[in-house]
């Protein structure tokens, strides 16, 4: 995998700086602008990608006009670029009345159409009342976990793959046709491996959900890496961590399985930041 790249001019459409305050760095729209980058931004500037940057401690973060909480105590923050991100993303950091903004160009990602057949039909178009009730209960648990905002710093560190050996069995973002019915896009990075293969935390974080038997996801773990970045591990045959437990990079959190809506043993690895879905494999550096 290539390493995350630093911000270059092609990522930069325009910049605004300092409402009533002198610019903290050279005017970025000029061709002379080079490596003096706002926030030390680095990441993958593509749909499904992300970036991390550093502003003032606890500075307010605004992304595309919406408030996104505050930077960490050391100023670091995370911004995810959704699967369907617009072609630009505006990041604003506000601190003591000063606003510093940057407009980034987000490159498009091509998504394939993927057909998945042989799924149990009740997992594609569920109709049984007890199943619908269970799906609702599961959703409430997941939604509660997504509100977590742990004070962790794993979000700004390189990730490692959660499996040491695997075959990519489904790319992030594919448009899926399930048993012939068009479904939602696939928001995971699917890694096929034998059942029982240990799954390892890709970075440090706090376990905010650890459930052995969700309807769609089977054995499911969520890890909060700080700044609202939550990674997910689906279809596990066994979950070996519990909610509230801190994990270190490489710590075993569970085992590969085929529980929930799955046709064979694999890990579906996902990443969410607020309402944005990203490709977790883009955070991996080797």
Binding site for Zn ion (CB under 5 A): 188, 190, 268
CB nearer to Zn ion: pick between 37 and 268: 268
CB nearer to Zn ion: pick between 57 and 264: 264
Provide the minimum distance between the beta carbon of 37 and Zn ion in the complex, in angstroms, as a whole number: 34
Provide the minimum distance between the beta carbon of 44 and Zn ion in the complex, in angstroms, as a whole number: 20
Residues forming a β-bridge with 175: 113, 185
Provide the minimum distance between the beta carbon of 106 and Zn ion in the complex, in angstroms, as a whole number: 23
Provide the minimum distance between the beta carbon of 170 and Zn ion in the complex, in angstroms, as a whole number: 5
CB nearer to Zn ion: pick between 156 and 277: 277
Provide the minimum distance between the beta carbon of 152 and Zn ion in the complex, in angstroms, as a whole number: 24
CB 105 within 8 A of CB 87: yes
What are the phi and psi torsion angles at 260 (to 5°)? 75, -150
CB nearer to Zn ion: pick between 188 and 205: 188
Rounded to a whole number, what is the distance in angstroms from the first to the last CA of the chain?
A: 6
Provide the minimum distance between the beta carbon of 134 and Zn ion in the complex, in angstroms, as a whole number: 20
CB nearer to Zn ion: pick between 110 and 184: 184
CB nearer to Zn ion: pick between 70 and 186: 186
Q: How far is CA 220 from CA 193, 199, 243, in A?
A: 17, 12, 11
Using the CB atoms, write b or e for 63-102: b if 16+ within 10 Å: bbeeebebbbeebbbbbbbbbebeeebbbbbbbeebbbbb
Structure tokens that stand for 169 in this block? 């069995």
Q: How far is CA 232 from CA 16, 55, 86, 92, 127, in A?
A: 35, 28, 24, 28, 26
> How far apart (Å, rounded) are the C-alpha atoms in residues 23 and 254?
49
What 8-state DSSP symbol labels residue 214? E
């Amino acid at each position: 995998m290539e390493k995350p790249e630093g911000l270059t001019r092609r990522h930069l459409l325009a910049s605004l700086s300092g409402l009533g305050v002198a610019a903290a760095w050279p005017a970025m729209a000029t061709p002379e602008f080079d490596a003096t980058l706002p926030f030390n931004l680095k990441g993958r500037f593509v749909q499904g990608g992300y970036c991390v940057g550093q502003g003032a401690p606890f500075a307010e973060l605004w992304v595309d006009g919406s408030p996104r909480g505050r930077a960490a105590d050391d100023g670091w923050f995370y911004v995810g670029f959704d699967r369907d991100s617009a072609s630009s993303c505006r990041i604003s950091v506000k601190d003591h009345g000063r606003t510093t903004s940057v407009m980034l160009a987000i490159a498009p990602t091509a998504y394939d159409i993927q057909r998945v057949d042989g799924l149990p039909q009740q997992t594609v178009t569920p109709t049984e009342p007890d199943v619908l009730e269970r799906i609702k209960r599961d959703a409430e648990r997941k939604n509660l976990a997504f509100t977590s905002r742990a004070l962790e710093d794993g979000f700004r560190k390189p990730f490692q793959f959660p499996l040491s050996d695997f075959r990519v069995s489904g790319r992030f973002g594919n448009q899926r046709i399930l048993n012939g019915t068009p479904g939602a896009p696939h928001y995971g990075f699917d890694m096929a491996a034998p059942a029982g293969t240990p799954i390892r935390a890709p970075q440090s974080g706090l376990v905010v959900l650890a459930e052995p038997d969700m309807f769609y996801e089977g054995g499911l773990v969520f890890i909060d890496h700080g700044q609202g970045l939550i990674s997910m591990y689906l279809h596990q045959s066994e979950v070996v961590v519990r909610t509230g437990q801190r994990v270190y990079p490489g710590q075993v959190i569970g085992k590969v399985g085929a529980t929930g809506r799955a046709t064979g043993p694999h890990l579906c690895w996902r990443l969410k930041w607020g309402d944005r879905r990203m490709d977790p494999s883009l955070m991996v550096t080797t």
